[in-house]
Chain A
Amino acid sequence: MTTLRQRLVPYGLLGPGLLWLFLFFVLPMVFMAWFSVSSGSLESGWSLTWTFSNYTDAISNYTTQFGRSFLYAGAATIFCLLLGYPLAYAIAFKAGRWQNLMLFAVIAPFFTTYLIRTIAWKTILEDSSPVVSFLKTIQVIPSDGRVLATSAAVIAGLTYNFLPFMVLPLYASLERLDLRLLEASKDLYASATQTFLRVTLPLTAPGIVAGVLLTFIPAVGDYINATFLGGVNQSMIGNVIQAQYLVINDYPTAAALSFTLMVIILVAVSLYIRFAGTEALMGDEEEAK
């Protein structure tokens, strides 16, 4: 029989944190919503005018950037998956004593700041660098081409910066894999490929879901990679939002763009989860009981 006090304990525990999130996440969203249907300017102030045209104008003016952001983020996510899965697999099963070290090597780059890492790529990819010269020699790029200030550079940057977000969930998922299932599959005469496709992959689906989400979502809104590695035709929607807020100070348009971005992401994510399964996200508490 639970007393009233006992029933209140969870709320007491949740209280401070959730309050913080409410005040500084939910409330700001409300104000952003307020701005998104307001009009005015820095000089004359803003007032709520229920101008829904902010949304339609914003979307029609910046459709290219929206599309580009999803394209770049999608491409980067796919590359992250292709690069991250082998790495996670190697760490989980082939690393032996070096497991912790390798894991750490994945997270370590975080400790030099995001900006410096991206700027370092600028050095690696500049027109006169050995890497680019090599690529030109093997004809991957035309001899008068360049890598920086192109879409490829931005996608490469996004892939690099978000790889850890893909590797870690994949690793967590692979680690929990019961090796006996793989052995059983081999015992039943399945080839390595078949084992992988039919056993490993499906069982690690929650990890893949989590990794994809953790990579795709921040990548869509990123603007650092586009700023440093991109050129004039690589602006992503993050660049536009940032400029609208901090340069033009057109808060209504900026807010409308932000909300639109969020909604699109939420829709894409819900569809993806519906399609791929939800255990990865919220249901694990059941295990603990």
Chain B
Amino acid sequence: MTEPTWKRPAKLFAVATAGLVAALTIAACGSTGGTDNSDVPTAQGGKASGTLNISNWPLYIDGKTISDFEKQTGITVKYNEDVNSNTDFFGKVQPLLSNGDSGGRSILVVTDWMSEKMYNLGFLQNLNPDELTTVFDNIIPSLEDPAFDPGRGYSIPWQSGMTGLVVRTDLAPDIKSVNDLFDPKYKGKVTMLDELRDSAALVMKGDGVDPTEATTEEWLAAVDKVKQAKESGQIRRFTGNDYVQDLAKGDVVAAIGWSGDAIQAQADNPNIEYIQPEQGCILWSDNMSIPVGAPNAPAAYEFMNYVYEPENQAQIVEYVNYISPVAGVKEILTKKDPALANNELIFPSDQFLSKCTNQTSPPGDEAEQKEVENAWLSVVEG
């Protein structure tokens, strides 16, 4: 006698489901995750030696600084350019950091809002100002005391930059404001950054709203405006660091992008320029922090002090082309490379920055922020 053919898989299924329910019930006894922010350690200083593992954004350092540092201090540096976007990097390190494991890193560099988020999750150590005398001697006044980290308790700026428009001036000479990105004439030839706090905030400014004072509704309205542009095919892609490629190829004529990239991109295509939007830019900093479980905090402190020496910083700025957080660099470069010293993108005047606002997160509690973030995600990933 043979069973009807449907009985065997059905039996199998029943057994499997029973097992699953049993396992789940057992697992129900536990919960997991969660972080305790009450006990943030302070990174210990001391004699700096050994190996230093740094995670930074790509193309953010020149070719000599690391070897110069190694020669001067005897510390071996492993410099990883594995931060391609704040969220991607967060996704990668979050499982480690929640276990107090830094993955070998002693310094990581992320943007303001991510520094804040990581600190609130207990992923970063407090910094001891006594170990960072050079830093605090030379940091420019405007970056000394930001709202999200008063007195720089856990973050030290690596470089600052502006989010604005990066344009192929030969293909789209008349782009002057973020609203020009919505011009149907450029349909399918426009990209935006996948970063909420850059793209939506800039779009908001185009409508006259100040992101640092906007309400959740105003954020959602900006997100919605982007959504419509995406659905109509106006926006070709949402990008991370890779928008420069499309611009160089000419597949895209205008993008929301970062000031330093524009300068570096001119090697690929001299017609790529940074255009300061009429309504102003978004100002941000990428900050060095020491994560929990960092194996070599003394070396980290040493490195931070090293790059805050004006001569060393000048060497970095010459290559990186972003805004330096260290005072005294402009004077050094005026002698070495006057063209660079006068470049408004690297040493912007107050007038150039007059309408710019600091990068900021959506307001409100966790739930309200999640609402905006999820709305944005469905636009970017949907």
- Residue positions of A touching B, CB distance < 8 A: 30-31, 33-34, 37-38, 40-48, 61-62, 64-65, 126-128, 146, 148-149, 231-233, 235, 239-240, 243, 245-250, 270
Enumerate chain B residues within 8 angstroms of A250, measured Cβ to Cβ.
374
A250 to B92: give the CA distance in the assembly, Å: 14
Asked if B130 is at the interface of the complex by the 8 Å CB criterion, the answer is no
Do residues A30 and B32 form an inter-chain contact, with CB atoms below 8 A?
Answer: no
Distance of A27 from chain B, by nearest CB (Å): 8
The contact sample of 18 A-B pairs, CB cut-off 8 A, is A30-B23, A38-B31, A40-B31, A41-B366, A42-B121, A43-B35, A43-B120, A44-B34, A127-B249, A148-B251, A233-B230, A243-B381, A245-B91, A246-B88, A247-B90, A247-B377, A249-B94, A250-B374
What residues on A are CB-neighbors of B91 within 8 Å? Answer: 245-247, 249
State how many angstroms separate the Cβ of B251 from the closest Cβ of chain A: 5
State in angstroms the CA–CA spacing of A5 and B382 once bound together.
Answer: 57
For B, the interface residue count at a CB cutoff of 8 angstroms equals: 40
Q: Is the CB of A127 within 8 A of B366?
A: no
Q: Of the candidates B94, B250, B381, which one forms a contact with A235 in the assembled complex, judged by CB atoms under 8 Å apart?
A: B381
| Shortest Cβ gap from A259 to chain B (Å) | 11
Contacts of B249 in A (CB 8 A): 126-128
Q: What would 4 more interface pairs be, CB under 8 Å, given A43-B34, A127-B251?
A: A30-B20, A37-B24, A45-B31, A45-B35
Pick from B237, B374, B381: contact of A231, CB below 8 A.
Answer: B237
Are A46's CB and B235's CB within 8 A? no
**Contact between A31 and B27 (Cβ–Cβ < 8 Å)?**
yes
Which A residue sits closest to B229, measured CB to CB?
A232
Structural contact, B31 and A240, CB atoms closer than 8 A:
no
Kindly state the separation between the CA atoms of A271 and B339 in the bound complex, as whole angstroms: 70
- B68 at interface (Cβ–Cβ under 8 A)? no
| Distance from B358 Cβ to chain A, minimum over Cβ atoms (Å) | 23
Check if A34 sits within 8 Å of B94, measured CB to CB. no
Main SS class of interface, B: helix
Whether B33 lies near A40 (C-beta < 8 A) is: yes
Contacts of A40 in B (CB 8 A): 31, 33-34
- Mark interface residues in B117-150 (1 if CB within 8 Å of A CB, else 0): 0001100000000000000000000000000000
CB neighbours (8 Å) of B88 from chain A are 246-247
Enumerate chain B residues within 8 angstroms of A43, measured Cβ to Cβ: 34-35, 120-121, 366
Instruction: Select from chain A the residue with minimum beta-carbon distance to B6.
Output: A274
Please give the residue numbers on chain B whose beta carbons come within 8 Å of chain A beta carbons, in ascending order: 9, 20, 23-24, 27-28, 31-35, 87-88, 90-92, 94, 98, 120-121, 188, 230-231, 233, 235-238, 249-251, 366, 370, 373-374, 377-378, 380-382
Looking at the assembled complex, report how far the CB atom of A75 sits from the nearest CB atom of chain B, in whole angstroms.
Answer: 20
Q: Are B27 and A42 in touch, CB under 8 angstroms?
A: no
Beta-carbon contact of B20 and A45 below 8 Å: no
Cα A228 to Cα B264 in complex, Å, equals 23
Among B94, B188, B238, B373, residue most surrounded by chain A Cβ atoms (within 10 Å): B188
Given the known interface contacts A44-B34, A248-B373, the answer about A231 and B92 at a Cβ–Cβ threshold of 8 Å is: no
Q: Indicate if the CB atoms of A248 and B188 lie closer than 8 Å.
A: no
Residues of A within 8 A of B121 (CB): 42-43
| B27 and A235 contacting across the interface, CB-CB below 8 Å | no
Q: Are A45 and B34 in contact (CB under 8 A)?
A: yes
Chain A residues, Cβ within 8 Å of B31: 38, 40, 45-48
Return A229 CB to nearest CB of chain B, in Å. 11
When the two chains form the complex, which single residue of A37, A233, A240, A246 contacts B231, counting CB atoms closer than 8 Å? A233
Contact A239 B27 (CB under 8 A): no
Which of A38, A248, A270 sits near B377, CB closer than 8 Å?
Answer: A248
Which of A44, A232, A243, A249 is packed against the most chain B CB atoms within 10 Å?
A232
Q: A233-B230, A249-B94 are in contact. Are A128 and B250 (CB under 8 A)?
A: yes
B381 touches A240 (CB 8 A): yes
Nearest CB of chain A from residue B235's CB, rounded to whole Å: 6
Give chain A nearest CB distance to B244 CB in angstroms: 14
Q: A42-B33, A245-B91 are in contact. Are A61 and B250 (CB under 8 A)?
A: no
> CA–CA, A177 to B101, complex, Å?
57
Task: Write the chain B residue with the least CB distance to A29.
Answer: B20
Smallest CB gap from A35: residue in B: B32
Chain B hits for A30, CB < 8 A: 20, 23-24, 27
Q: How far is the CA of A247 from the CA of B90 in the complex (A)?
A: 7
Q: Is the CB of B378 within 8 A of A61?
A: yes
- Bound-state CA distance A41–B32 (Å) is 10
CB B20 to nearest CB in A, in angstroms, measures: 6
Complex CA gap A128/B171 in Å reads 14
Q: In whole angstroms, how far apart are the Cα atoms of A187 and B163 in the complex?
A: 76
Nearest CB to that of B122 among chain A residues? Answer: A43
Whether A34 contacts B24 by the Cβ 8 Å rule is: yes
* Bound Cα distance A55, B382 (Å): 18
Within the assembled complex, what's the spacing in Å between the Cα atoms of A48 and B121?
21
Q: Which residues of A contact B370 (CB under 8 A)?
A: 41
Contact A64 B382 (CB under 8 A): yes
